[in-house]
Structure 1
Amino acid sequence: MAVSKNLKSKTDNENKIFHEEWTEKYAFILPSFINAKPTCLICNEGVSVCKEYYIRRHHETKHANFKVAFPPKTEARQRKIEALKGSYAYSSRILVRGLTSQQKVTSASLKASWVLAKHNKPFVDAEVFKEMMVKVLEELDTGKSMDGVIGSVKQMSLSARTAARRIEVLSDAVQGAIIDGVSRANYFSLAIDESTDKTDVAQLCVYVRYYDGKDFKEELLSLIPLEGHTTGDVVFEKLEEGTSSTQHRLFRQLVAESEDATDDDLLLHNDVRWLSKGKALDRFCVLLNEIKAFLGMSKSIAAADHLILLEDEKFMSNVAFLSDIFGHLNQLNLQPQGRDKTLVDMVEKLESFTRMLEMFEADISTGRLLHFSTLKRTAGEVTELMVDFIKKLRANFNSRFDDYSIPKDIIDFIRDPAVKIADNFSSLAKATIPSLDQAALEIEMIDFRTTSVVRDPLRSAESLCAFWVGRLCSEEYSNLKKVAHYILTMFPSTYVC
């Protein structure tokens, strides 16, 4: 019996050895601290047993899409794994402190605060969390070996005030890393917008986008409360007061790049409910009969006036038309949104929509109404006002982006390096980025466009940013890299705010 037991124990120990290939296969690592469990780099969850079956089951059950997005044994998967390992190492450096008993207690308190913040739990729940940990540990093992662990848990300070301080420490560490990354970047851009929180306090959101040497980062730089009126002057003053001296210098640098820059150029007071206009009109048209019935039952004069308006066919035709056109504008507004969108993406969508407007004009002028389903469903009348509206909308789009500060030839080249470029491309690039070596840029352009390594990598790259980062990671095309990073660092909109 004893021999059998020893053999089983040996087999179990062998099975509990972590194999390095599991990192590439399942995105798992084994942290270096004592009694560490295999940890998933994607969700940071650990598995209780260090066996491939449990690790594979976790990966296939919870992250089935990871294999599709990043196929095994590809460069894309390797880059993603390295990025996840870097993020985990960074968070570990923040959360793991020292070797002394008290330092470990502080580290545990930081981790508890991190969990509370991640799950949007109030800080007052921390004491309940502490009591729960003590009860669980007492129940699991009443031996003397657990006394020290339980004593350490009881020493942890998890009051609301302490938890708030822990979050501030974590916040300062993260912000310090962002500021350090921005200070090292050749270019960065700021997205600044004002919105309100659930208590109706106006908040100024400041996001930064920059290239850290490996990837393009989008991070929250600052969140500044605004009291009273949120005018452009107030926002500008708050941005100066609320940011650190380092952030202030970075913002001054951004403003200094443009001779015409003023506080009025900040993207402020965007209507965050803009998308709801099209949806509200669509819902209004869908529920028109119910609305009429409701107004008909009302005894008020205002309701009667509204009902007369809704019975007007010309008025309702205009409402149906606006519902359709706002629906198209909503689609345009949604397409450039999301993280890691670039200026090139935005320009591409705007060009596409401008061409669509030509199609919409022809569609409504001929009465086909293929792209105006609400107007067609209500059998509304097509008026000259509608046709004129689309013409003016198209003219507005054309004029609004004709004088864009970045030459279109440069944006087109970043989108597709194989496209035919203007003869004065290097001059345009030099005018946009004065620090470029124009002579070297022209030589790089010829070499870059005649090599066979441009077309295929562009088609197989995960994204435009991935192509330029991967192809231009060396200094062989240093001036082209400057142009690409300058364009791709820009925020396309204030959506991230």
Structure 2
Amino acid sequence: MLYKTCFCKGYSQRHYQISCYLKDSFFLPERATAASLRVSWILAKKKRPFTDSETVKDCMLAVVDEVINDDKIKTSVASAIKNVPLSDTSNIRRVEILAADVYETLLGDLMKADNMSIAVDESTDKTDTAQLCIYVRFFDSKCFREELLCLLPLEGHTTGDIVFGKISIFFKDNGLDMMHVCMLVTDGAPSMTGKVNGLAARWSTVAPQLISLHCIVHQAVLCAKLSGALKTTMDNVMAFIRSTSSLQHRLFCMLLSEMSAEHHDLLLPNDVRWLSKGKALERFCGLREEIITFLRSSKQKKAETHLSRILDDNFMADACFLSDIFKHLNDLNLALQGRDKTAIDLVEQMCTFPVKLDLFATDLSIGRMLHFPPPRKCISSPAQITDVMTDFIARLKMNFAGRLDGLVLPTEVAVFVRDPFTVAIEGDLSARAKQVVPSIDEGKFTLELVDMRSSVTMAQELCTNGPTMFWTNVNVHHNSRCSLTDRTLHQCLRIALTTYEPKVTALVQNKKCHFSH
């Protein structure tokens, strides 16, 4: 009897061990695939090359080898890591799966949205392929979404007709309605803004209610075009930065290191990167003394010419002036960028900058230079404040005034968006709102405003979460009441920029799991 009991007990334990082993063996491929999906997601979000996945596996194995002391556990964990498919080809496939998953979610939300705004920009990549980047902003019944809609390669010409045709095909293939696009934002290229064959004009034939705008960030950059003496100063600074040979560049960097300079190199500007001019000028002015030391020791023919310029206080005053102005412009540019910006935010920033320009002009006219500390070091008397500086400020203000024409929103509407509880209902708010949004029902708008302003919860919501989340919740309450290939580039950008999260568990369950290397 005792023998029989021991036999049954041993059999049960063995059976349990075998069951656990079979269970682990069954789920191990799924876990390995889920792990590879998560690694691929992180690498794609960080914009890393596909081959980095193999490096990640090597790093994980090295960590296990150093951290875990128990040999049995170490062998088990290392074996599990080795079974995770993290080759570069596996990473490519995982990125395709993840991008398709978040894209499917995006399309599902877009099909439910009544309205959406589109931003279109065309740029050429390093393979000379024109890439049409389309961003979409919409309300998904919970919050505002800003997502990369698509990246369309344009192999040939990039005229307005061709761009419109490409977008039309994309909308049709994905079941989206072009009539739901209420606003289109583009740059100022003729292919986008042409009155007859531009993208905006062609789209308006399909969606007559469409409002088209020139990108505010792009307009701010266009306001700062240089000309005359200041352009010459800028060109001379850029000429020095670009003139050094590889040897001279190495020697200059060595000198900066030996002198314990604040920076270890100059910055090379790029017209495509709008912030680069200001950064390059700031670095150049900050390293003036080190540059003078280097040029005095240099035996190159151009060194004497560059040295004479940098020793000239008038030249450096202009260069430092440009550095300060571009710093203010860069600050404006950055303030206009980013997610969750409302039209009110952008217009306020654009309207505030001309006021700052008035302040700068007054500062220059009285010679105090409070807002231009670097030029103040090069200017010994107010007489050195040249007409070039004051003229540039005046022209900059004039350019902003021209660009702002048509961007100004009624004050009542701006205040209403910021704090609807402070605006008088009896005034002409509804009429002002209808000027901005012609489709609005003034009567319904006024009644809903009365209901909203009677809610203490809504007032607390505004104080706690700010205007964007406040208006989101207003809508929720209202509803409850009633080298890469073009394809791979598209997928990598989608993952890097999206706010959606992939459904990893569902993806693992819906695909066949195989081990890879």
Secondary structure at the counterpart of residue 29 of structure 2: helix
> Relative to structure 1, is the Cα distance of residues 382 and 124 closer, same or farther in structure 2, using a 3 angstrom cutoff?
closer
1:254 Cα deviation after fit = 2.9
Asked if 1:389 is matched to 2:389, the reply is no
Aligned to 1:327: 327
Secondary structure at the counterpart of residue 274 of structure 1: coil
> Relative to structure 1, is the Cα distance of residues 442 and 251 closer, same or farther in structure 2, using a 3 angstrom cutoff?
same
Asked if 1:116 is matched to 2:60, the reply is no
Asked if 1:429 is matched to 2:357, the reply is no
Provide the rounded CA distance (Å) in 2 between the counterparts of 1:293 and 1:232: 52
Aligned to 1:140: 73
Q: 1:469 aligns with which of 467, 472, 475?
A: 472
1:125 Cα deviation after fit = 4.5
- The TM-score, its normalising length taken from structure 2, stands at 0.59
1:157 Cα deviation after fit = 6.3
Provide the rounded CA distance (Å) in 1 between the counterparts of 2:307 and 2:175: 56
Residue identity in the other structure for 1:263: L
- Stretch of structure 1 that moved more, 203-212 or 322-331: 203-212
Aligned to 2:115: 187
1:399 Cα deviation after fit = 3.0
- Stretch of structure 1 that moved more, 217-226 or 273-282: 217-226
Asked if 1:172 is matched to 2:176, the reply is no
Provide the rounded CA distance (Å) in 2 between the counterparts of 1:249 and 1:376: 57
Asked if 1:288 is matched to 2:304, the reply is no
Aligned to 1:276: 276
8 Å contact 2:321–2:372 — kept in the other structure?
yes
Asked if 1:220 is matched to 2:148, the reply is yes
Secondary structure at the counterpart of residue 336 of structure 2: coil
Aligned to 1:39: none
Provide the rounded CA distance (Å) in 2 between the counterparts of 1:176 and 1:387: 54
Asked if 1:105 is matched to 2:108, the reply is no
8 Å contact 2:318–2:389 — kept in the other structure?
yes
Provide the rounded CA distance (Å) in 2 between the counterparts of 1:127 and 1:295: 44
Provide the rounded CA distance (Å) in 2 between the counterparts of 1:449 and 1:470: 14
- The TM-score, its normalising length taken from structure 1, stands at 0.61
1:213 Cα deviation after fit = 1.0
1:371 Cα deviation after fit = 0.7
8 Å contact 2:125–2:131 — kept in the other structure?
yes
Provide the rounded CA distance (Å) in 1 between the counterparts of 2:285 and 2:104: 51
**How many residues get paired?**
376
Secondary structure at the counterpart of residue 182 of structure 1: helix
Q: What is the CA RMSD across the aligned residues, in angstroms?
A: 4.7
Provide the rounded CA distance (Å) in 1 between the counterparts of 2:362 and 2:72: 75
1:415 Cα deviation after fit = 1.7
> Relative to structure 1, is the Cα distance of residues 254 and 165 closer, same or farther in structure 2, using a 3 angstrom cutoff?
same
8 Å contact 1:192–1:266 — kept in the other structure?
no
Aligned to 2:448: 444
1:414 Cα deviation after fit = 0.8
Aligned to 2:418: 415
Residue identity in the other structure for 2:442: Q
Q: Which runs of 5+ in 1 are unaligned?
A: 1-34, 36-98, 480-494
8 Å contact 2:117–2:138 — kept in the other structure?
yes
Provide the rounded CA distance (Å) in 1 between the counterparts of 2:447 and 2:432: 15
1:471 Cα deviation after fit = 3.8
- Please give the per-residue CA displacement for 1:287-322, whole angstroms capped at 9, x wherever unaligned: 223333444445555444333433444333222211
Q: Which one scores higher on RCO, CA 8 angstroms, separation ≥ 6?
A: 2
Residue identity in the other structure for 2:322: L
8 Å contact 1:210–1:218 — kept in the other structure?
yes
- Please give the per-residue CA displacement for 1:472-497, whole angstroms capped at 9, x wherever unaligned: 43229999xxxxxxxxxxxxxxx99x
Provide the rounded CA distance (Å) in 1 between the counterparts of 2:379 and 2:30: 70
- Please give the per-residue CA displacement for 1:182-220, whole angstroms capped at 9, x wherever unaligned: 221222222333567788876543322221111112222
> Relative to structure 1, is the Cα distance of residues 128 and 363 closer, same or farther in structure 2, using a 3 angstrom cutoff?
closer
Provide the rounded CA distance (Å) in 1 between the counterparts of 2:38 and 2:276: 35
- Please give the per-residue CA displacement for 1:76-135, whole angstroms capped at 9, x wherever unaligned: xxxxxxxxxxxxxxxxxxxxxxx9988973574254133134134635856994996999
1:360 Cα deviation after fit = 1.5
